[in-house]
Structure 1
């Protein structure tokens, strides 16, 4: 659409606003998950528990949502064309729905807490919080690199 049809004169401000709109259109920020209605991109189950959710956001800003961390790792293995360059996020187990960069989180494979898909993977923002969790509920500490083989 031409600007003169709308009677808008091109100015430096309209140029800057246009660039800003283009830049934010491809954001790799985490998307909102609608718990109880969004479906896991891998297993197709409904995403219901914000403590276990994860997501992968492509370079073009498309978000793939998952009901569990192991679904995200399995999907990434099976779809390298989608996962290359994508940012991955995991939900903070202690503050469900609060997103953590997946590569910076600390993980626990719990012996007593069950995740939706059964791997019992929990994400924490720091090693200290993960160790505190293990002190109260048995589990094993894992690093992001160890998760790549988990999930069906």
Structure 2
């Protein structure tokens, strides 16, 4: 259906949901510190639920320059983040099950928004962490701030600070990128279907307007175009369709032949002519392929003397009964 996502999008939803679940096992971000006195470097790893790495050593350094020490319990984000990631993973699985495009778009929008909000919150934490210093610290450098970079490198005194995603973060970013690309492709696919439908509408209308299929005669209701009488005899009747799709209905062959001879329509304007099969009441058959017989014993409602049949066998049985002559539609029209 048009409102459903594609099978590829459903598979991607499941893969991304599983990937988000896996990201809970790895650190999302890391900050590496390098300095001459620490040749092997120091690292802070930010997991969804805790701060890991050389936390104690970094806290000791922070004490000297007036920065606050880091403790997992001081950040509410570490309490709610694992649940949020799990919810987004569940949302992805539901997107694959529900299959509705609006549900998938909602998931992508909320996840992308969450990623933006998370980076803003991380920047806010880094700014507060690097600027809100203890004025009574052992080392105070006037005007100096120690805000780590959001991403990339920054020199902080004799320390070089590198900030970049870790395994979980790369998973997170990859999921976000894949989902956004998939959402765009799904939107284009839906737009393409809609555009095709819109572009095809004129063609559909044209085909309908040029329709040459017979329309059933409503006996007892439809009016003969020529004599203006209600068409009632189900063994007779005729129908003419123009090249523009307009339909004219008639009581019997007498009325349609009279209309054709009137000159109201030229031959190129006539797309198709149908006659009612005498043996199969109400059934319209193409006049050019019908088996026709003409005789005085045949009594149409408007004095027509021609009966039409779909098969030669059915025609022959009535031909013997009425002692009628077989004729073709072209012969009848040309006379």
Tell me the TM-score normalised to structure 1 length. Answer: 0.80
Where does structure 1 lack aligned partners over 5 or more consecutive residues? Answer: 1-7
SS of 2:333's equivalent in the other structure is helix
Shift of 1:19: 2.7
State the match for 1:78 in structure 2.
262
* CA radius of gyration, larger in: 2
- Structure 1 Cα separation of the partners of residues 315 and 252 of structure 2: 18
The answer as to 2:229 corresponding to 1:68 is no
CA contact (8 A) 1:39 1:47 kept: yes
Contact 1:56/1:83, CA 8 A, preserved across alignment:
no
Q: Could you say what secondary structure the match of 1:97 adopts?
A: coil
- Rate the CA distance shift 1:120–1:130 in 2: closer, same or farther, 3 A: same
> C-alpha deviations, 1:95-118, integer Å up to 9, x for none?
122111111111112443411111
Matches within 5 A, 1:126-141: 126-141=311-326
Q: Please name the residue that 2:172 is paired with.
A: none
What is aligned with 1:16?
Answer: 200
CA RMSD between the two structures:
2.3
Question: Which structure 2 residues correspond to residues 17-36 of structure 1 after superposition, within 5 A?
Answer: 17-36=201-220
TM-score (norm 2): 0.39
| Deviation per residue, 1:75-111 (Å, 9 max, x gap) | 0111353553311110111112211111111111244
In structure 2, the residue matched to 1:105 is 290
Instruction: Assess if the C-alpha contact under 8 Å between 1:55 and 1:89 holds in 2.
Output: yes
For these two proteins, the number of residue pairs brought into alignment is 143
Q: Which has the higher contact order (CA 8 A, sep 6+)?
A: 1
Contact 1:51/1:92, CA 8 A, preserved across alignment: yes
> The residue matched to 1:75 in structure 2 has which SS?
helix
1:41 is matched with 225
Q: CA distance change for structure 1 residues 149 and 15 in 2, over 3 Å: closer, same or farther? A: closer
Flag the 1:34–1:27 CA change in 2: closer, same or farther, 3 A: same
